[in-house]
Amino acid sequence: MALYWTIDSRLRLMTVVGDGLVTRDNLADMLDAMAMPGVNAYRKLVDGLGAEVRVSGEEAFELATRVRLGHQVSPPGPLAMVLPPTLFDSYRTVFGMLAAADRPFRMFETLEKGRRWIESPAVLGWQPPPPGAPPLRSIAAPVSRPLKS
Domain 3-123 classified CATH 3.30.750?
yes
Q: Which pLDDT tens digit goes with each residue over 53-72?
A: 888 888 988 888 888 777 77
Q: Which pLDDT tens digit goes with each residue over 97-122?
A: 666 667 888 889 899 999 999 999 99
In sequence order, the β-bridge partners of residue 22 are 53
Task: Return the domain boundaries, the chain.
Answer: 3-123
CA-wise closest residue to 42 among 7, 17, 3, 70: 7
Tell me the C-alpha distance between 125 and 106, whole Å. Answer: 16
Residue 146 has pLDDT above 80, yes or no: no
**What percentage of residues in the chain have a pLDDT greater than 90?**
42
Instruction: Say how many C-beta atoms besides its own lie within 10 A of residue 64's C-beta.
Output: 19
Tell me the C-alpha distance between 35 and 14, whole Å. Answer: 12
- The model carries a pTM of 0.80
- When comparing pLDDT for 75 and 26, which is higher? 26
**What percentage of residues in the chain have a pLDDT greater than 70?**
77
Q: Residues 6 or more apart from 14 whose CB is under 8 A from it?
A: 5, 6, 7, 8, 33, 34, 39, 42, 43, 44, 45
Average pLDDT along the chain: 82
Amino acid 4: pLDDT: 95
Residue 8 has pLDDT above 90, yes or no: yes
Amino acid 9: pLDDT: 94
